[in-house]
Amino acid sequence: MKPLDPRLLRYARAARGYLALTVALGLLTAALVVTQALLLARVLGTAVSDGAALGDGAWSTAAPLVGWLAAVVLARTLVTTLQERYAHRAAVRAIGELREAVVARAVAQGPRRLGDGRGPHVVALATRGLDALEPYFVRYLPQLVLAATVTPATLLVILGQEWVSAVILVAVLPLVPIFMWLVGRLTQGRSERGLATMQRLSAQVLDLLAGLPTLRALGREAGPAARVRSLGDAHRRATMGTLRIAFLSGMVLELLTTLSIALVAVGIGLRLVDGHLDLVTGLAVLVLAPEVFAPLRAVGAQFHASTDGVAAAEAAFAILDEPADDHDGTRPAPDLRAARLHVEHVSVASARGLAPHDVSFTLAPGRVTALAGPPGAGKSTTVEVLLGLLRPTTGRVTLDDGAARVTVADADGAPDVVRASLWRQVAWVPQRAVIEPGTLVATVGGDADARTHAARVTGLDAVVDELPDGWDTPVGRGGHGLSVGQAQRVALTRALVGDAALVVLDEPTAHLDVNAEQVLLQTVAALREAGRTVLLVAHRPALLACADEVVEVADLPADVTAAAVAP
């Protein structure tokens, strides 16, 4: 990433105001630095010219200068404090906006792109990864602005005071960014590898947690520990390698600046002895010389503290610059209680071919439709297309309420329907339910009577009786742990309590035993009795038998597809 990437200002609005304030404070700091150096030189020059000890007459001359000098030092302190306080608030807002943009773009890209193993990487990036941008905003960016304002200002003042010292500083100054660039090239790869290692570690831990019930059932829960430990050690080694280079670059910068300031001091001393330079001018140049390099040294020191954040920003921009899979429509979805949903010759291309291939059916209000087919045929993919989460390769999905027919997903263009208006009318129970943090009563919703009746139908009432605080027990992350089957019962209860016109059950028996099949049959019967439209993705015969219509979903392997299009 560039020192200041324009994309950061585009995706994080808080960074714009922060940058403007930082530039203004940088200009003010440059003026204060120059003023402080000139005042300090004048005070010291007056003290030396009037004697080693300040008498009454000398003090009356120097007192106003000392007062102004104290005021300038206080002003610099206030400016620095203001900048640091605002920097932390702006960093939090900017990182939050960038995180929201990454999550929104990941959602807009659809589940297919996140289903290829990128999901855990996006999670790691949107959480701990982007938090590494705080050092960039708080420490690196302000010093970068000071390097662009204080360094030129002090050089111009030195040039006006004594041109020989200015020539020495200008000759040495380009070496500093050259060495910073060389070291930056070395650390860039290490920072990117460190971020990649953290993402792999996060993905490994998430996969381990997701499959922990299966591993425990097989007695293999301790197996992945060595792999997680290896990734952690790799992340530690990458971080320590970056720090070693940071210390090395700091030593190089300190050596360059020390030698250049020493050259300026020796030259000033020789010209003072020869009488070619007055004391006040020499002192002013000597005080200003370190200020020329101070912002550059600070940039070099803070650059390495921000490299992890810069690598995370690059990864975020890689996601944000990718086009979304589809565009949203402009028309609200019709009422699903009175509209028919038509799936017309839908096919979706994948690495294995077309899954599904040429599937067509109609969801009529109040009816139960089941999708059946072998694993990998594209049943869940069909549901994603039907809900507008995925654009089909061929075919389309439409809604018809008798007055108008609008598209939900279309292979040939953008849909007509605003997807959010459709999703508000849908309850979706996926294969693995996700329970948001909160109490169980807040998660399920509904009034007490409806909640109690639905829990009796789905078998959640037995789970509630075992919880320490009943319906008021916190669940989800940070709350009481629920098994996969218990979480599935919570999701079924929530769908039954809600008023969504369309209920999609994506293989609800995947994590329940055979004895719970009767519970699911009762749930479907209750939904039908309430006049709700139900779409089942199932493979058990009993569940398929309760459907009003069973649609067979099939795929077309890649070799068959290639043979079909071959000349």
**Does some domain include residue 67?**
yes
Q: Quick one: pLDDT at residue 412?
A: 85
Outline where DSSP puts E strands in 387-439.
394-400, 405-410, 426-429, 438-439
Q: Find out whether 341 and 387 touch, Cβ atoms under 8 Å.
A: no
Q: Quick one: pLDDT at residue 420?
A: 86
**Does some domain include residue 330?**
no
Domain boundary among 320, 352, 368: 320
- DSSP for 449-503? HHHHHHHHHHTHHHHHHHSTTGGG-EESTTSB---HHHHHHHHHHHHHHS--SEE
Q: Quick one: pLDDT at residue 564?
A: 46
Domain range spanning residue 259?
6-320
Alpha carbon distances (Å) from 488 to 8, 217, 300, 564? 41, 19, 53, 42
Q: Quick one: pLDDT at residue 174?
A: 81
Residues 438 and 308 in one domain: no
Residues 425 and 531 in one domain: yes
Residue whose structure tokens are 């500083």: 169
Residues 305 and 345 in one domain: no
Q: Nearest to residue 8, comparing CAs of 229, 317, 420?
A: 317
Domain boundary among 285, 320, 355: 320
Residues 123 and 217 in one domain: yes
Q: What is the 8-class DSSP label of residue 514?
A: G
Bridge partners of 407, per DSSP, are: 398
Helix or strand holding residue 368 (H, E):
strand 368-372
Whichever domain contains 479, its CATH number is 3.40.50.300
Q: Quick one: pLDDT at residue 7?
A: 81
Residues 490 and 366 in one domain: yes
**Does some domain include residue 334?**
no
Q: Find out whether 523 and 554 touch, Cβ atoms under 8 Å.
A: no
Residue 467's φ and ψ, nearest 5 degrees, are -75, 150
Residues 240 and 126 in one domain: yes
Alpha carbon distances (Å) from 248 to 136, 186, 284, 553? 20, 11, 32, 62
Distance (Å, rounded) from C-alpha 318 to C-alpha 106? 11
pTM value surpassing 0.75: no
SS3 387: coil
Amino acid 236 reads: R
**Does some domain include residue 327?**
no
Q: Quick one: pLDDT at residue 395?
A: 93
Q: What is the pLDDT along the chain (567 residues), one digit of tens a residue?
A: 566 777 887 888 778 888 888 888 888 888 888 888 888 888 887 777 655 445 555 566 667 878 888 898 899 889 888 888 888 888 888 888 888 888 888 877 766 666 555 666 777 777 777 887 888 888 788 888 888 888 888 889 888 888 888 888 888 888 777 776 766 666 666 666 666 666 666 666 666 666 666 667 677 767 667 766 776 776 677 667 666 766 776 677 778 788 888 888 888 888 888 888 888 888 888 888 888 888 877 777 676 666 777 777 888 888 888 776 556 788 899 999 899 999 999 999 887 789 899 999 999 999 999 999 888 888 988 998 998 888 899 999 999 988 888 999 888 888 889 888 998 999 988 877 878 888 888 888 888 888 888 888 888 888 888 888 888 888 887 677 787 778 888 888 898 888 899 999 888 766 566 666 777 888 888 888 888 999 999 888 888 888 999 999 998 886 655 444 444
Tokens of 128: 């701990």
Q: Nearest to residue 22, comparing CAs of 11, 14, 34?
A: 14
Q: Find out whether 370 and 549 touch, Cβ atoms under 8 Å.
A: yes
Residues 91 and 172 in one domain: yes
**Does some domain include residue 254?**
yes
Helix or strand holding residue 533 (H, E):
strand 533-537
**Does some domain include residue 372?**
yes
Domain boundary among 291, 320, 349: 320
Residues 442 and 535 in one domain: yes
Tokens of 11: 């995706």
Residues 363 and 280 in one domain: no
Alpha carbon distances (Å) from 66 to 11, 49, 55, 72, 74? 47, 16, 15, 10, 12
Q: Nearest to residue 106, comparing CAs of 409, 386, 322?
A: 322
Residues 344 and 283 in one domain: no
Whichever domain contains 35, its CATH number is 1.20.1560.10
Residues 301 and 432 in one domain: no
**Does some domain include residue 299?**
yes
**Does some domain include residue 194?**
yes
| Residue 126 φ/ψ region, left for φ over 0, alpha for ψ in the -120 to 50 degree band, beta for the rest | alpha
Helix extents (H) in 321-410 = 379-386
Residues 310 and 399 in one domain: no
Q: How many domains does the chain have?
A: 2
